[in-house]
Amino acid sequence: MGIIRHTKSVKSLIQAFNESENAISVAVLLKRFKEDMNKTTVYRILDRMEESGVLHSFIGKDGDRWYSKYTENTSASSTISHPHFQCDSCGKSECLTLDINIPPLPNHKVDSASLLLIGQCQDCLIEITQ
């Protein structure tokens, strides 16, 4: 097990997540850093950052992977896993602090959950009503 070095590429990714309130998809990250670093590097840094607990990832509505930093509210708590919301109009994904209760499931052991709510985000709702 190695130490994560604070390289130029790593700094760029950290900055991207610090500047973003919401989650960022791998596709967006690859495009954003196309000129700055190799795609392999992006994948590998995301792996390391998740493994080290700086980021967490989840699967979006279309099966694509999204990453987001942890905050006080979204950290792995007593809950199985915090839910996410993805907007059907703009595609944006957010971490939710919403507490979703999972009823007991007979004959199964539930260890975690991937809970994604899909609909219209605040910005897109405003656009619709205007």
Residue 101 engages its own copies in binding (rule: CB under 8 A): yes
The residue type at 48? R
Rule CB under 7 A: choose which of 32, 61, 65, 69 binds DNA.
65
Q: Residues near 57 by Cβ (< 8 Å), separated by ≥ 6? A: 46, 50, 65, 66, 67, 68
Residue 8 engages DNA in binding (rule: CB under 7 A): yes
- Closest approach, Cβ 109 to its own copies, in A, equals 4
- Distance (Å, rounded) from C-alpha 122 to C-alpha 111? 32
- Closest approach, Cβ 36 to its own copies, in A, equals 26
Backbone angles phi, psi at 108, to 5 degrees: -135, 155
Residue 38 engages DNA in binding (rule: CB under 7 A): yes
- Distance (Å, rounded) from C-alpha 12 to C-alpha 49? 13
Q: Which does 44 bind (CB under 5 to 8 A by kind): its own copies, DNA, none?
A: DNA
Which residues are near its own copies by CB under 8 A?
59, 61-65, 85, 88, 96, 98-103, 105, 107-122, 125
